[in-house]
Amino acid sequence: MNDGVKINKRRLKSAVLLIMLALLLASAGGCSKDSQKNGEIDIQELASGMQDLIDSDKMIRSENPSRSLKRFFGLNTADYEDVVIYSPASSMDVSEMMIIKLSDKAQIESVEAAIESRISAQTESFGGYAPEQCALLEDYIVRISDDIVFYAVADNSEELRNAFLDGH
């Protein structure tokens, strides 16, 4: 009778250990998924967190980023995961900011080329009569962090860049 009790205790211990191991593995797998989701950056939230640094007299958030991206940069929003654009509030200003979440890191070159093209066009447009705007264009900022491209032309581009880096 004692042998039967010992065997049942062993089986019970084994079963408890297997259940504990299964629970441990399940919880570790859950943490991994959560950390991946938490590691992804929501650029809409990132841009909203930068709102206090945006001078609304100089630039405004585009209500139609698809149209703005195409018009100003020649790019299509369908090619990217997400896009936020702040465009000049006036045709006499060059202040703007863009944050693009890439679908693929291979898109970096085309986004950089589009930014350079935009800077060239703006410099040509403002070159003859707005030296202060051209100075802003000369100091434009592009930062690439993981799968996100940040671009800014503004009086406070450094502050915007720092907010981007802090939020990212």
Domain ranges of the chain: 1-39, 43-167
Share of the chain above pLDDT 70, in %: 80
Judge whether residue 24 has pLDDT over 80. no
Spatial CB neighbours of 76, under 8 Å, sequence gap ≥ 6: 66, 69, 70
pLDDT in tens, 39-90: 578 999 999 999 999 999 999 999 999 999 999 999 999 999 999 999 999 9
H helix runs in the chain, sequence order = 2-39, 43-49, 65-68, 108-126, 131-138, 157-167
35 vs 138, more confident: 138
Give the pLDDT confidence score for residue 35 in this predicted structure.
31
Q: What is the DSSP letter of 141?
A: E
Contact 83, 101 (CB under 8 A): yes
3 state DSSP class of 122 = helix
154 vs 8, more confident: 154
pTM of the model: 0.75
pLDDT in tens, 106-115: 999 999 999 9
- CA-CA-CA-CA torsion for 110, 116, 122, 128, nearest 10 degrees? -150
